[in-house]
Chains A and B, each alone.
Chain A
Amino acid sequence: MHRRHFLLILLSFFAHKYALSQDEGGEASLKAAFIYNFTKYIEWEGADNSGDFIIGIVGSSSISGPLEKIAQTNNVKGRRILIRYYNSADAIGFSHILFIPRNQSSSLPVILEKTAKGTLTVSEEPGYAKMGSAFNFIIKNDKLKFEANLNAIYAANVKVSSQLLKLAILID
């Protein structure tokens, strides 16, 4: 008789495992991981691809800690990851990804105006995608999801893989 092993997989387990943990730290690190994962599916065609890969954060955000940690141990296609902080809309310089935390003193249009071409904007305020942010995190059914504004992506002159877009909630 052959030895037969049957692995029992508990189906009910994953339902909780992949639900978003309620604490602030969990959400922040998940967002940081998502931002890093975005880089794997996006090509910056109109930007300088030789130097460091710059992720900018407008103001302060709880994701900065987890993001710094990622930057220390990872890279984007062999390029070092640099995190830059801009205190105000006027201070915004070139970055490949610009994260716009919620509760900003400056409004989104002001920030977008200061954003250079070739910068992919990522926000976390409901409705921001519609207002012109390329990617916008939302919580849906207790899970972290993201909206994508195709016009904003096109305007940023970046190429987003369909593998990423199929997971996004598309906003006109």
Chain B
Amino acid sequence: MINLRNISIQNKLVLIQVLTSVFVLAIFFTGFIMIDIKDYKERKVKSIQSIAKVLAANNVSTIQFQDNEAAKDILSELQNVAPDIVRAVITDTDGNTFAQFSKTKADSSWFDLGNKTFAFEGRHLYVTNPIVNAENELAGHVYIDCELSELEDMKSKKFGIAGISLVVALGCGFLIAFIIQTYVSKRLLFLVEKMKEASETNNYRLVIKDDGKDEIGILIKVYNDLMYQVNESQQRKDEFIGIASHELKTPLTSIKGYIELLNEMETRQPQQIFIQKTKESTAKLEHLIADLLDVSRINSGQLQLNIEEFKMDELIDESIDSISAGIRTDHTIIRNGTFNDLTVKGDRQRIEQVLINLLSNAVKYSPPRSDIFVNSTIKDEQLIVEIKDFGNGIPEEDKEKIFERFYRARNTSVHISGFGLGLYICSDIIKRHNGKIWVESGAKGSSFFFSLPTIKKSIPI
């Protein structure tokens, strides 16, 4: 069974059109042919019955004077009057054949009409008429067997015309449906394409133009309105992030300053410990606010890169050191391979941000006492850095989404704090460097890769 839902609207339209035309025409033609056949049969019965009546009247005397030769002569003239009469018989009152005319001698059987005056049997029409004399006495019967050859001709001709018309109608149906469907399915598919585009690029400012006033036109209009709203709220959110991060940063700066002062002034315990705890939390808060600020800058296009030449190996080592210094767990970060002191062009600070981010993620998601590998390779004039952990890995469906804003992996047993902005910022930074960032993940952990063009290939920004 074909599920109608799975047929495309285009095919549905064609199907509706074609089925409707075929159905209507089939009913139409069948009706007309039936009426034609009925008319033809009625006419035939009338004409053969009148011939039978004439024969009956003309054969009263032949029976009275027992002149079967004369009767046969009369019957023979039928050939000129009605050529489709194949047999005519005159019987006397006892049912014995008095005279007969037959085109086909072989057949001597006769269809029993019973009490009827006519009957259709197969391709034949049988008609009978009593022979009554002037005194109203029954003298015999006339029987006529008429072959309906015309009917067969008529049938085949009409069905032929009907068949041809059906084929033509089918063709026209297809054509019309094809023309009409472009006004329906094409627009729908266009809408779908635009929606996909909006979803992929996060550009909700696209307005779809459609002059139609039908349901699809309404759908497109509603979509445009909806996208306008989405765009508005997106913009408001971005504005909010921008304002919030700026407004949060100012008091945080002063908190930081005073804590620094306190740190210098206070040497007693446990106050000194409290100050250190506050400093750590403030640093975290500062980091979160910095992320928010970055996102806000990315959204408003204000993220500026400070392009300089630097050595990638140095940067990687520094990043590992700074992470290692901050880790209080038992993870070991192991470096594999070097770039042979290769220099790249880019924003050193931003690339460091990426490295730190990826490394701290690896630390966060790694089980205790497991190692973290940092591999460096060069391939097709691209520097590729891999940061490999032995964590739980990332589900297949999340692999693309983790680089999106505010996305946080579900089903993680580890509680991770943060906004879910780190990878989004990393991805943006790497893209601005004409590089790529991606993840490979399995049950035995995840590998985050990013690539940067070598100095030969890198485009000055």
Q: Which residue of B lies closest to A20 (CB)?
A: B66
In the complex, which residues 122-154 of chain B have their Cβ closer than 8 Å to any Cβ of chain A?
Answer: 133-134
Contact between B108 and A14 (Cβ–Cβ < 8 Å)?
no
In the complex, which residues 89-104 of chain B have their Cβ closer than 8 Å to any Cβ of chain A?
Answer: 89, 91, 95-100
Least distance between B91 CB and chain A CB atoms (Å): 8
Contact between B68 and A13 (Cβ–Cβ < 8 Å)?
no
Contact between B98 and A14 (Cβ–Cβ < 8 Å)?
yes
Q: Does A34 contact B (CB under 8 A)?
A: yes
Report the count of interface residues on A (CB-CB < 8 A).
26
Q: Which residue of B lies closest to A41 (CB)?
A: B61
Q: C-beta contact mask, B30-72 vs A, less than 8 Å → 1, else 0? A: 0000000000000000000000000000101110111110100
Contact between B109 and A7 (Cβ–Cβ < 8 Å)?
yes
Across the interface, A14 reaches (CB within 8 A) one of B97, B112, B114, namely B97
Please name all residues of chain B whose beta carbon is closer than 8 Å to the beta carbon of A163 when the two chains form the complex.
58, 60-61
Q: Does B110 contact A (CB under 8 A)?
A: yes
Q: Does A110 contact B (CB under 8 A)?
A: no
Please name all residues of chain B whose beta carbon is closer than 8 Å to the beta carbon of A34 when the two chains form the complex.
65
Please name all residues of chain A whose beta carbon is closer than 8 Å to the beta carbon of B258 when the two chains form the complex.
none
Least distance between B109 CB and chain A CB atoms (Å): 4
How far is it, in angstroms, between the C-alpha of A30 and the C-alpha of B67 when the chains are bound? 12
Contact between B133 and A40 (Cβ–Cβ < 8 Å)?
yes
Please name all residues of chain B whose beta carbon is closer than 8 Å to the beta carbon of A166 when the two chains form the complex.
61, 70
How far is it, in angstroms, between the C-alpha of A9 and the C-alpha of B99 when the chains are bound? 12
Across the interface, B96 reaches (CB within 8 A) one of A4, A5, A13, namely A13
Across the interface, B112 reaches (CB within 8 A) one of A6, A13, A30, namely A6
Interface of A is mostly: mixed
How far is it, in angstroms, between the C-alpha of A41 and the C-alpha of B60 when the chains are bound? 11
Contact between A40 and B65 (Cβ–Cβ < 8 Å)?
no
In the complex, which residues 132-168 of chain A have their Cβ closer than 8 Å to any Cβ of chain B?
Answer: 143-146, 161, 163-164, 166-167
Least distance between B59 CB and chain A CB atoms (Å): 9
Please name all residues of chain B whose beta carbon is closer than 8 Å to the beta carbon of A8 when the two chains form the complex.
108-110
Q: Does B159 contact A (CB under 8 A)?
A: no
Report the count of interface residues on B (CB-CB < 8 A).
27
How far is it, in angstroms, between the C-alpha of A37 and the C-alpha of B61 when the chains are bound? 8
Q: Does B111 contact A (CB under 8 A)?
A: yes
Contact between A13 and B66 (Cβ–Cβ < 8 Å)?
no
Least distance between B126 CB and chain A CB atoms (Å): 11
Least distance between B142 CB and chain A CB atoms (Å): 13
Across the interface, A37 reaches (CB within 8 A) one of B64, B89, B109, B114, namely B64
Please name all residues of chain B whose beta carbon is closer than 8 Å to the beta carbon of A146 when the two chains form the complex.
65
Please name all residues of chain A whose beta carbon is closer than 8 Å to the beta carbon of B89 when the two chains form the complex.
9
How far is it, in angstroms, between the C-alpha of A143 and the C-alpha of B66 when the chains are bound? 9
Please name all residues of chain A whose beta carbon is closer than 8 Å to the beta carbon of B99 when the two chains form the complex.
14
Contact between B66 and A18 (Cβ–Cβ < 8 Å)?
yes
Across the interface, B98 reaches (CB within 8 A) one of A18, A37, A144, namely A18
Please name all residues of chain B whose beta carbon is closer than 8 Å to the beta carbon of A143 when the two chains form the complex.
66
Contact between B68 and A7 (Cβ–Cβ < 8 Å)?
no
Q: Does A91 contact B (CB under 8 A)?
A: no
Least distance between B72 CB and chain A CB atoms (Å): 11
How far is it, in angstroms, between the C-alpha of A143 and the C-alpha of B60 when the chains are bound? 18
Contact between B96 and A17 (Cβ–Cβ < 8 Å)?
yes
Please name all residues of chain B whose beta carbon is closer than 8 Å to the beta carbon of A164 when the two chains form the complex.
61, 65
Contact between B62 and A6 (Cβ–Cβ < 8 Å)?
no
Least distance between B105 CB and chain A CB atoms (Å): 9
How far is it, in angstroms, between the C-alpha of A8 and the C-alpha of B108 when the chains are bound? 7
Across the interface, A5 reaches (CB within 8 A) one of B65, B112, B134, namely B112
Least distance between B229 CB and chain A CB atoms (Å): 75
Contact between B66 and A144 (Cβ–Cβ < 8 Å)?
yes
Q: Which residue of A lies closest to B57 (CB)?
A: A163
Q: Does A1 contact B (CB under 8 A)?
A: no
Residue ranges of B at the interface with A (Cβ–Cβ < 8 Å): 58, 60-62, 64-68, 70, 89, 91, 95-100, 108-112, 114, 121, 133-134
A-B contact pairs, 30 of them (CB 8 A): A4-B112, A6-B111, A7-B110, A8-B108, A8-B109, A9-B95, A9-B97, A9-B110, A10-B97, A11-B97, A11-B100, A14-B96, A17-B96, A18-B98, A30-B66, A37-B65, A40-B64, A40-B133, A40-B134, A41-B61, A143-B66, A144-B66, A161-B61, A163-B60, A163-B61, A164-B61, A166-B61, A166-B70, A167-B62, A167-B70
Given A4-B121, A8-B110, 10 more pairs with CB closer than 8 A: A5-B112, A6-B111, A6-B112, A9-B96, A13-B97, A17-B96, A164-B61, A166-B61, A167-B61, A167-B62
